[in-house]
Structure formats: structure tokens, C-alpha cells
Structure 1
Amino acid sequence: MSDQSTNSVAFVRTEEVPASAPPSTATGPVKWIKDNLFASVGNSILTIVSLLVIYKVLAGTLPWMLNGIWNSNSLAECREILQGETGACFAVLSERWNQLIFGFKYPADLYWRPSIACVLFFFAAAPVLFFKLPRKMLIITGLFPFIAYYLIWGGSIFTPILALAGVVAGYLVYARFVTGSFATGFFGGIAAAFAVWIIGGYILPDVEITEGAMRSVPSRDLGGFMLNMMLGVTCVSLSLPIGIALALGRQSSMPLIKYVCVVFIEFIRGVPLITLLFVASVMLSYFFPPEATVDLFLRVVIMITIFSSAYIAEVIRGGLAALPKGQYEAGDSLGLDYSQAMRLIILPQALKISIPGIVNVSVGLFKDTTLVSVISMFDLVGMIRGPILASTDWNGVYWELWLAASVLFFIVCYGISQYSQWLERQLATGHR
């Protein structure tokens, strides 16, 4: 009996059997493919059809791209090198890259100026886009527009200094009176800025360009993708605060302000952007004094900003309408006035809700900057359709140029989209 007990105890395990690995069909890539691509008969058919389409597209484009020619002086020379084989003539990008980026009139020896402005833009945008960075970096953000103007356009240094002085004076007046009344501080700041600009314009003489000064470049010499970036960044930056003001004005209890904002928003949203660009090119100069020569770039910025601000206003109005009434009552219960409640309670929540819509308008606006080519501004599309394709050396090159333009716009728009998704995750926009 004891021997049997001893033998039975010897077969009792003192530790658990280690878990076996799951079958290959229940985990890893095989499971993902099964669940996402072949989960049903319909999904399997769609997957097979999609793979066939991808194969056909890649089979036709990859040999064309991989057999491309990057070094030649003309399309005819590209065809001689290919000797009848299929291949792209990417040499047009190698030879005309400077015109695609900077336009064909911007001086080649001054390319370093917009290049430095582009690098400074990332430093200036960083503290605004990534709020965890030191707030002291906002000094770069505030100075960037004036530095960029002087780098790109050149001319007298007193012009950006005078503009900066007007902005500083306006901010000081606004900060002094905004605690008593928002309207007093806002309009007082605008009046102070214009006063400095007008007085400075009379006091400071026109400084002629002398030796050692920054060479002046007129706006008509701007072009290429640089022009698209300048229009996109400037118009988006200006349209956001204007759109906020229009959205608040549309919800105002004052009938005059409300109806003016409603008429403005509905009229602008009902007019195509290309119509406004023709107005900027032909008619807008008639609204300024006869002796004033308003730059075409400034007129285009005004019209595109007006157009995009109307759409952003409707996006923000949707965010304001999505907030429950209790949020507005919370400001009243705390004893906050209208400007304080909007600045501290309402707008932060409404802007978080409106992030996807604002990004959508911004991406659409950046792509719509290509419409300036219809008013003889040689942006990236204008350069392709005009000087490059009109030249005898590259007449007939289409796919290579449009592919390069698509890649440039895709990089910028995809970057904006990814940043917006990151910002939504950081701000927990999902209302859990």
C-alpha cells in the first residue's frame, strides 16, 4: 500500500504546464489578413479586385519611373537616350527646379533669402503648434512676419520696423484698456496702430536703396511653390481670427452687427473664389485712393483671406452651437463679462470641437492658391502651364511636372492633416 502511495505521489506535478503558443491562424499577420481582407466572400472579392488594380497601376508606372532620365537638356535629348524605351524625363525637374520653387523672375543670387525665411518659419510656428514648448519662443513668432517680409521683398528696413512699431503700440493700448471694455481695447489698439503707421509714413522719408542695403524684389517677381506657401500661410493666419470675429458677430444680440456678419458670410460663401480673384486683379484697386498703388499680392491676400474667413466662421459657429447652454451660464454665474467668458470658457471648447473643420478649410485653401495662375501670377501651376511648357526644350513634358507638383502639395497637406489628428489626441477632443 505504501509503495503504491509513493509511486502515485511521484507523478503529481509541482508546477503548471507552460501555455502552448496559439496557432498561426489565430494571431499575427495571418489573423490580421483573415479578419481585414478575407473576412467574408464580399471582402475577399474586393480584396482580389483591389490587388489586381494595384498590380496593373504599378506594372505600368514603376518601369516608367525607374527607367527615368535625370540628366538631359531637352525632351528630344531624353528620347534619344531612351531609344524608344518607356521612361520618364525627370531631367525637366533637374533643370527647372529653381523655377518650380522660386519662379522664373526671382533673382538666382537671392535664393538664400526666401530659404532662410522658410527655415525661420518652422521656428516661428513651433511654439504656436506645440504648446509645450517654452513661451519665450513666441518672441520669434511675433517677429517672424516682419523679418520674413524684409528677407523676401527687401527694400528699406524702415518699412518692417514701422510696421512692427504700429503693432506694438496697438497691443500696448489693447492691453491697457481691455480689462475695462473689450471693444474699447480692441478699437483703441487698431486706432493706435494706424496712428503710428500714418505718422511714421510722414516723418520717415523714403529711404533710397544704397550700397549695403537689401536689394528690393517686387511682388511680380515672386513665383513658384514659394508663392503658394506665402499665400497659404498668410491667408490661413489672417482668416482664423477674422473667422472667429465673424462667428461671434453672427451670434451677437445686436441686430446691426448680426445682420452685417450674416450678409457678409452668406454672400462670400455664395461666390466662387476665382470670381474674387478677378475682382482683386481688376476692380479692388478702384476702392483705394487714386495715388495709392496697391500691390497685386496684397490684393490677392485680401480676397483669399475674406473667402476663407467666411468658411472658417461657419465652422466655428458650429462649434459654438455644439456647446450646451450650461457653459454660457457658467460664465454668468462666475461674474465674467462677455469677453472674459468667451476667452476663458466658450472659445477654448468651441475651437477644440472645430479643429477638423478648420483643418479641412485650411487644406482646401492651400490647394486653392493655385487659382492665382488665372490672373497671371506664376505660382507652381502657373510656372508649369506657362514658361516651362511654353519653352521649345520641354514642350510635351506633362506627367513629370504634374507629378512633382502633386508630391509637393501632398507633403504639405498630409503634414497638416497629421498634425490636426495629433492635436485632437492631445486636447482629448473626443468628449469621452
Structure 2
Amino acid sequence: MTAFREQMIAQRQPPDQRRGVIGWLRTNLFAGPINSIISLIVIAIAIRLLWPVIDWAFIEADWVGNSREACTSDGACWVFISARWNQIVYGFYPEALRWRVDIVFAIFAALIAWLIVPKLPAKKSVGIFALIGFPIVSWILLLGGMFGLDHVPTRLWGGLMLTLTIAAVGIVGSLPIGVLLALGRRSKMPLVKGVCVVFIEFWRGVPLITVLFMASVMLPLFVPAQMEFDKLLRALIGIMLFWSAYMAEVVRGGLQAIPKGQSEAGAALGLGYWQRMGLIVLPQALKLVIPGIVNTFISLFKDTSLVLIIGLFDVLAIIQAGLTDSDWLGFAIEGYVFAALIFWVFCFSMSRYSQYIENRLNTGHK
């Protein structure tokens, strides 16, 4: 027996042409005649300008080899990067002990992945370990001299390892110091406010090169001869204090954007000053200035290359040192392009993650 439907099927919506690749192109690039013409012109100009770069960097490039004799084409010679890869990553760290650096890199990558992935549990505990435990573990592994690990002086540190060390310490240290300075500058106690104002304006008024030079060359002249400070440690302290002054002004802008009634409401509930700041004011203020905070982090990461002036070889300095080798003269473009790519990857990642955090914390201020 065959059954027939007595009622018509309800009308369905037509397929949405704005979805998918074709929908995106139609919405953003070819929405109308004028838009289509402009898009085609821009695409043609982009292909005209980018094709020689693509041809040089990928199609005509040399990738495999151990010396410049392997670079036989007219394209880029990425053999320079592959031949010096270990030095670019580890600097002058002893080859037999580089497994310690690999462990630090693995822990760092695992912590970043754990904090980024939304559904993973125990983020608070992982965050506390990342801020407190991980720096201690990394310092023990990299420096050695304890728990049976061979001591590796910081003068042998270099490359990407040194760049990430300076950037991580500067970022982790400058944010809490900057928050305290911002709160101190808004304090009603004249002495506290005065000290914070002098600190902030002093460090913002001198260039970072001067700070590094003073920390490396001048500071030892003002301490007893028997007291020695590690050069890397002096640079880390200088970078941390320098960027904490800039971070303080960013945070202060967020504090000024919060209405005074928020703090007054907390006081009416019987909350103390630090409770009001920690539970009410600061969470709102920091959320508003996420772009400024990440912008400061990106500037800090790029300025790690300035440590070259005090004899520390970060990833850019290692590449520059490799370009002075007589066996690799004439391949400066490949080295600088690769260094720029490294900095761009880390800075772009921080920028994209900050946008993700902004969207996740958005509570209807638009």
C-alpha cells in the first residue's frame, strides 16, 4: 500500500550564498560592479608584485645542502639557514647538553597549548605553574650547577633560546610591576604617588639602549669589586623595569576608564582597598586595555634584539654573526628574511591570541 502526503511540504529558505568560499568572495570582493573592478585591479597588482618574491623564495630556491656550493640557482639560498640551524636555535650552548633546552621548549609549548585550548581543565593551576614554577625549572635546567647538572654560563646562551628567555622574563615581570605602579600613581598617599611618578617618568624618558648600556657597563662600577652580577641577569632586570613603566601607563588608562561608582559600590559592601582593586576594578580595567598590553608585549619582544650591544647574541645577532663568515658572504637577504619571519610569527601569534581573549571577555560594551 502506497501512502501519499495530503499536505504540502513547508517552504524552505533558499541556500545562503553568503557562506563558504564563494559566498565570502561575493560578499567581500565582488559585491557590485565597482567593487568587482577594484578587486580585480588590486589582485592583478598584488600578483604582479608578489610573483617575483614567490619565485625567488620558493620556486627557484635551494633548500638542501651543507655549503654555499649547493646554491646553484638564482633563487634564495635557504641552505644558509639549514646549515646554521643549531646555532640559530641554541646559540653557543654545548651540543651535548642541548637536550635541556629541548625540554624547556617542550614544557613551554605544552603550557601555551594548555592555556590556549578552551576546554582543557585546571587552567588556574597551570597558569600559576607557568608564572612561578616554570621560570624556576627553566633556570635550573638551562643554567645547571645543581642536581647533578653541568653548569652552562649565560655567555654561552644565544639564538632563539636567548630571545625567548628575555621576552618571557620581561613579559612576566613587567605586567605585575606595571599594575602596582599604575595603582601607586593613582594613590592618594603623596609619598607613594611621588615615587611611582618619578619611577615611571624616569624610565620612560631614557632609551632602552641606554638602560642596557648602564646595566652592563656602568652598574658594575657602583658595586663592590667582590660582588658580581651576571650580565644576562642585569639585562633582564633593566628590560623588566623599563617596560614596566610603559605597562603602568597602559594600565592607568584602563583604571581611568572605570567609573568611580564601581569602587564606591565595593566600599559600600565593606570591601577593603585591595579587595576592591582585585575583585572589581582591575578585572574590568585590564579587559579594556588588552590591545595596549599586547602591543607593549610585542614591542618588548622586538626590542630583545638590542641586547647585541652588550655582547649577548640573540637570534638576530647569531644570524648577523653567521653572515660575517667568509664562506657565506652574499647571503644577507636570506638571513634577515628568516629573522624577520621568526619575529613576525611570534608577534602575529600574540596579536591573534589577544583578539581571541577580547572576544571571549566581551560582555556587551559594543
- Does the alignment reach a TM-score above 0.5? yes
CA distance in 2, matches of 1:320, 1:374: 36
Asked if 2 retains the 8 angstrom alpha-carbon contact of 1:268 and 1:310, the reply is yes
In terms of mean alpha carbon deviation, does 225-234 or 277-286 score higher?
Answer: 277-286
The one of 347, 356, 359 aligned to 1:422: 356
For residues 59 and 417 of structure 1, what CA distance do their matches in structure 2 show? 27
Establish whether residue 122 from structure 1 lines up as the match of residue 109 from structure 2.
yes
Aligned to 1:314: 249
Pick one of 51, 55, 76 that aligns with 1:59: 51
1:338 to 270, 273, 278: 273
TM-aligned CA distance change 1:235 to 1:29, over 3 Å: closer
User: 1:245 is matched by which residue type in structure 2?
Assistant: L
Describe the superposition over 1:266-319 as per-residue Cα deviations: whole angstroms up to 9, x where unpaired: 222222212211212211223433311111101111111111111111111011
Q: Does residue 111 of the first structure (1) align with residue 98 of the second (2)?
A: yes
Question: Which whole-Å deviations, capped at 9, do the CAs of 1:128-182 have from their partners, x for residues lacking one?
Answer: 667863144456433222211111111134xxxxxxxxxxxxxxxxxxxxxxxxx
Aligned partner of 1:351 in structure 2 is 286
Summarize the Cα distance change of 1:40–1:320 in structure 2 as closer, same or farther, 3 Å threshold.
same
Secondary structure at the residue paired with 2:313? Answer: coil
Q: Distance in 2 between matches of 1:18 and 1:375?
A: 74
1:244 & 1:312 partners in 2: Cα distance?
7
CA displacement 1:238-283 (0-9 Å, x = unmatched): 0011000100000000111112211221222222212211212211
Select 1:15's aligned residue among 8, 12, 28.
Answer: 8
What TM-score do the two structures reach when normalised by structure 2?
0.89
Percent of pairs identical after alignment?
Answer: 44
2: CA distance between counterparts of 1:43 and 1:359? 34
Residue type of the partner of 1:133?
A: P
Q: CA, structure 1 residues 125+22, in 2 after alignment: closer, same or farther (shift >3 Å)? A: closer
CA RMSD of aligned residues (A): 2.6
Alignment of 1:144 with 2:124, yes or no, is no
Q: 2:40 aligns with which of 48, 56, 60?
A: 48
The 1-side partners of 2:135 and 2:23 are apart by 53
Query: Aligned residue pairs: how many?
Result: 357
Q: 2:3 is matched with which residue?
A: none
Distance 2:233 2:35 in 1: 53
Contact (CA 8 Å) 2:323, 2:335: kept in 1 or not?
no
* Counterpart for residue 327 of structure 1: 262
Q: CA deviation at 1:214?
A: 1.1
1:193-227: CA deviation from partner (whole Å, max 9, x where unpaired): xxxxxxxxxxxxxxxxxxxx211111111110111
Question: Offset of 1:91 from its aligned partner?
Answer: 0.8
2:157 to 215, 222, 229: 222
Stretches of structure 1 lacking an aligned partner (at least 5 in a row) = 1-12, 158-212
Matches within 5 A, 1:343-422: 343-386=278-321, 388-422=322-356
CA distance in 1, matches of 2:363, 2:347: 21
Q: Is the 8 A contact 1:316 1:354 kept in 2?
A: yes
Q: Which runs of 5+ in 2 are unaligned?
A: 1-5
SS in 2 for 1:216: coil
Aligned mate of 1:249, from 165, 184, 190: 184
Question: Which amino acid in 1 is paired with 2:137?
Answer: I
The TM-score, its normalising length taken from structure 1, stands at: 0.76
Cα 1:69/1:31, change in 2 over 3 Å: closer
